[in-house]
Amino acid sequence: MPKANLQTIDSVERAFLVCVETDENAEPYAIEELTSLVRTAGGTVVGELHQHRPTPDPAYYIGRGKSEELEAGVRDTLADFVVVDCELTPTQQRNLQEIVQCRVVDRTQLILDIFAQRAHTREGKLQTELAQLTYLLPRLMNLYTKFERQQGGIGVRGGAGETKLETDRRKVRDRIGALQEELAEVQSQRQQQRNLRRRLPFPTAALVGYTSSGKSTLLNLLSGSDVYADPKLFATLDPTTRRVILPDGWAILLTDTVGFIRNLPHDLVAAFRATLEEVCEADFLIHVVDASAPQRELQMAAVMTTLEELGAAEKPIITVLNKSDRVSDHYLLREMVANDPNSCYISARTAEGVPSVMDHIVRVIKSLLVPVTLHIPYSRSNLLAQCYEYGRVIHADYREDSIHVRAEITRDLAGRLEEYRVKRR
């Protein structure tokens, strides 16, 4: 059976980039990002081809004429493979490969290759392999074009190539089924972990943002932990949860998640569903933005699009404009914050702006608190301490029968104290 990562990239390989854009303003950013992806995968860029057209060519993606121009560029630069900044159809990929006479790798393959390199845990490897095989299945035909493929007839119902193709298709489907079963177990285990965390009366938040925006660095800064952080794309694949102590002794559980990217492959989103559910389960989100990125608006839009696909776009969101130390025009930062009351700017590297982030988190938590009136028996007076720790006690009156409390507490704690709540008439 063919391996899922048949077209991975070696560190010495030379890439020729192809970018087709309908918006001329987005083209420089698209090429820059594609270059970063190639370098992250271990390759080097030796040439580029740009084209403006309203829709891709259905047969060659860039058209027959441009394909021949691409072939000349590949030949002149001695490129080992071509990278196209989109997801190609099997037909487009096969046609381009026949013309340029080298591997043609699309954006999805490139991202899957990076994830395969970055996956170290069992869950990460399972998710990445599932995404790779799901992508590979409809493209298996390309691997057998050199086999004998007879058209059929009486006594002849297919050549050796077709027999091998069907065998490998079946093996790929079987492996996909096995991976889905294993990931279902992982999803169940992750749900159990979330349920255990839910027993703690801490609000939960998830860090989301474009890849390499500084989420892991911010998690380390706020929690005092030492989570792996790297400026390369997709440094974090597996979610990491840490406790963050807030002013006045409050605390939250903060989870770092996988970075998003423009046109994130759907197979990857589906495979990482269990991981991305951390975003859906959080009480609120902290959207980390690279304020120094020239195309930060496009990056923010890409993140919001992914959140909408996950069904998490309606959650309370704090926008943190990170890397403020790299922005020369601080007036622009202040203007952006002024236009969005739920935003602030910070440098996670220098720790500038931490109080502002904390203030925004506290403000969101207060909006999530539930007003309650409680009659707590003296035998459970420890519950009053939890009201102080995980909320705000407005009034506490020690009476003969019990402690009468008016407070604003988290929804989880309110559920646990339901039997002591005084119902309003």
What is the rounded distance in angstroms from the CA atom of residue 88 to the CA atom of residue 61? Answer: 7
Question: Around Cβ 294, how many Cβ atoms within 10 Å?
Answer: 11
What percentage of residues in the chain have a pLDDT greater than 90?
31
What is the rounded distance in angstroms from the CA atom of residue 118 to the CA atom of residue 322? Answer: 24
DSSP 156: B
**Which of 93-107, 222-236, 237-251, 377-391 has the highest average model confidence (pLDDT)?**
93-107
Task: Count CA atoms closer than 13 A to 388's CA, side-chain side.
Answer: 8
Sheet with 204-209, strands from edge to edge, namely 240-245, 251-256, 204-209, 284-290, 317-322, 343-345
pLDDT at 145 over 60: no
DSSP 97: H
Per the prediction, the chain carries an average pLDDT of 83
pLDDT tens digits, one per residue of 177-187 = 999 898 888 77
Q: What is the mean pLDDT of residues 56-73?
A: 90
- The answer to whether residues 287 and 300 touch, using CB atoms and an 8 Å cutoff, is yes
- The answer to whether residues 276 and 269 touch, using CB atoms and an 8 Å cutoff, is yes
251-256 and 103-106 strand pairing: unpaired
Q: What is the CATH number assigned to the segment(s) 200-367?
A: 3.40.50.300
Amino acid at 331: Y
DSSP 170: H
Q: Any idea which residue has 């069904």 for tokens?
A: 311
What is the rounded distance in angstroms from the CA atom of residue 25 to the CA atom of residue 158? Answer: 50
pLDDT tens digits, one per residue of 277-323 = 788 889 899 999 999 988 888 899 989 998 998 889 999 999 999 99
pLDDT at 154 over 70: no
Total count of residues recorded for the chain: 425
Question: Around Cβ 63, how many Cβ atoms within 10 Å?
Answer: 16
pLDDT tens digits, one per residue of 25-37 = 666 778 888 898 8
What is the rounded distance in angstroms from the CA atom of residue 351 to the CA atom of residue 244? Answer: 15
Class of domain 14-118: alpha beta
DSSP string, 323-376: -GGG-S-HHHHHHHHHH-TTEEE-BTTTTBTHHHHHHHHHHHHHHH-EEEEEEE
